[in-house]
Structure 1
């Protein structure tokens, strides 16, 4: 190991590999390699990093995988040039906000196989991040601030304890791969159609009953959804033919309908009542008649055949949620929507 460092010192090395050297401390002389851009320290017993590493101003890649770190060393927050950080297979329990704040050039962050329960809201500062992997941890929630990371192309939250995902995740419109298998998800947020570049989705081993509205519009090439609790198709007739709408709902439907007409008085006046557009933004559209409504009047499901070019492990037919505005629409003949019976 010493020979490797000595050669690096004399050769003004840009890369140093001290992986699998059975070391428990980083040699102090490593900090005397000002040109170092890649430092590989995986498969050792390192439990801390020397503060002197902050002098590695040109360090771009740091691999500390499979060591004995129990926390993210504070010195990492000073490595402002770092683009790739691998911390898999340690004993890390938390991600300090102050460390995250100093890593604004990160492109790859790998925290797999640790004991992390939460990611801090400050993760929003990693605006250049493209690959985020926190596989096999103890995550209990995903911060809404993740939606600020609009450069993300791949997220892996497989094997955690997540009961839900934030809708802000759909702001990451460059996302091509989303892995959330083996969590505790009971649903995916509505609006997933915004992920127009999503090619791989793994939701296997959760508690999903159906997929969100317009899920079938995604350009998926791979879909893994086995071992969930998807609804089954067991047709039954509707027993309610007349619905009574609240005044708020009736008014909202009228305003939403009028707002579609750019020349209408309602459309022109809405900007003068700021709370209204915000409220009406929660509206939806009937899958049959296409008329707008504010609240989910009738949750339905239709069974969609997955694109034959999509790689899939189980059934090629999946349940996709749909919203109908009324029982009048639901009772119309000739459609393929089914009501959802809850136990």
Structure 2
């Protein structure tokens, strides 16, 4: 039956060949005579490897190998430089060959769902055109920082893995619109949110207790966070006496303020002291009065409304980490902060 379809493709020179669900265990060598094929569907078969003749398909842009018995990405794929979409879901793949990844510069979609993958190699960055990567229902324990170098990514789906953290570098993905991290083992999201275009975030079924500083400034359309260990919505009053700022902290605040003025003596002098400049680069900003400070004086939680503060259609209360510069700000009558985390 498969041979008949191949023969028909030879006669008609169709650019699409569908051999899905044919109980195929191996591909015939005649594929070397089909160089014009652009779309090839081999899903739902019993393929454990692909023949070298497949490298003749230099116009192939879409290849579906889903639901077969592959244990690795077939090496021959590294020769298909025009490949745009690659589906490898439902196989037995546990290892991603760096060599194959380096040979697919035009790949935009990679689907590796329902496999046995534990590690994504750093060479994933070689997929410089990749827009969508999906590795759901695998055994991933970490995400390579190199993923943050893939500026074209708009969608990432790592649902149902064993991730405990995500790298800070993912915030470099300014074009990212959809991020799915549900059902992992995440305990926190890194500080410094930079997803300006993110519209969908799914972190349901993890172990998050609070969202990072500045989370409320994201402009999401959808947020899923049920099934986490969020801090309780319980008001905690500060009973501490007003702190007296140390002289070095007062000096640091003055320097931080002066450094914003490019004409000031401080701003011109700091480049000559790289160690001091590095220390001052870790300054924080009070979540209430917006004043800069060097030492974290107060860390607390504020519950924000997703509809009011983030412009979402749904109204939910989300705990967001907030840094304050003093107890004066914490005890302001016009603001209520909850769940005091650290002094």
Partner in structure 2 of residue 131 of structure 1: 132
CA distance in 1, matches of 2:42, 2:191: 42
**How much does 1:322 deviate?**
0.7
Q: Which residue pairs with 2:95 in the alignment? A: 94
More off after superposition, 238-247 vs 59-68: 238-247
| Aligned counterparts, 1:254-333, within 5 A | 254-307=254-307, 310=312, 316-333=316-333
- Aligned counterparts, 1:175-324, within 5 A: 175-192=176-193, 194-243=194-243, 252-307=252-307, 310=312, 316-324=316-324
Counterpart CA distance in 1 for 2:119 and 2:319 is 31
**TM-aligned CA distance change 1:247 to 1:61, over 3 Å:** farther
After alignment, is 149-158 or 329-338 more displaced?
Answer: 329-338
Tell whether the 8 Å contact from 1:172 to 1:195 is kept in structure 2 after alignment: yes
1:60-209 equivalent positions in 2, closer than 5 A: 60-192=61-193, 194-209=194-209
Equivalents in 2 of 1:246, 1:96: separation in Å? 55
For each residue in 1:15-40, what CA deviation from the matched residue of structure 2 results, as whole angstroms up to 9, or x when unmatched?
A: 11110010011222113211111111
Distance in 2 of aligned mates of 1:323 and 1:341? 10
Q: 2-side partners of 1:257 and 1:339: how far apart?
A: 30
Structure 2 equivalent of residue 17 of structure 1: 18
Q: Which moved more, 1:303-312 or 1:140-149?
A: 303-312
1:159 CA drift (Å)? 0.3
Distance 1:19 1:296, change over 3 A: farther
Q: Classify 1:258/1:204 alpha carbon distance in 2 versus 1 (closer, same or farther; 3 Å).
A: same
Q: CA RMSD in A?
A: 2.0
Query: Once the two structures are superposed, what CA deviation does each residue of 1:56-109 show, in whole Å capped at 9, x if it has no partner?
Result: 111111110000011111111121111101100101111111111111111000
* Matched-pair contact (CA < 8 Å) for 2:215–2:320: yes
In the alignment, the residues of structure 1 paired with residue 290 and residue 225 of structure 2 have an alpha-carbon distance, to the nearest angstrom, of 29
Question: Equivalents in 2 of 1:243, 1:66: separation in Å?
Answer: 63
Question: In the TM superposition, what is the alpha-carbon distance from 1:165 to its structure 2 partner?
Answer: 0.6
The separation in 1 between residues aligned to 2:106 and 2:203, in whole angstroms, is 30
State the Cα distance separating 1:341 from its structure 2 match: 4.2
Contact 2:232 2:339 (8 Å CA) reproduced:
no
For structure 2, which runs of at least 5 residues remain unmatched after alignment?
A: none
Task: Say if 1:277 and 1:101 are closer, same or farther in 2 by CA, change over 3 A.
Answer: farther
Between the aligned partners of 1:2 and 1:333, the Cα distance in structure 2 is 78
Structure 1 residues without counterparts, runs of 5 or longer: none
| CA gap 1:291/1:228 in 2 versus in 1, 3 angstroms | same
Relative to the length of structure 1, the TM-score reads 0.92
SS of alignment partner, residue 340 of structure 1? strand
Q: Is the 8 A contact 2:101 2:124 kept in 1?
A: yes
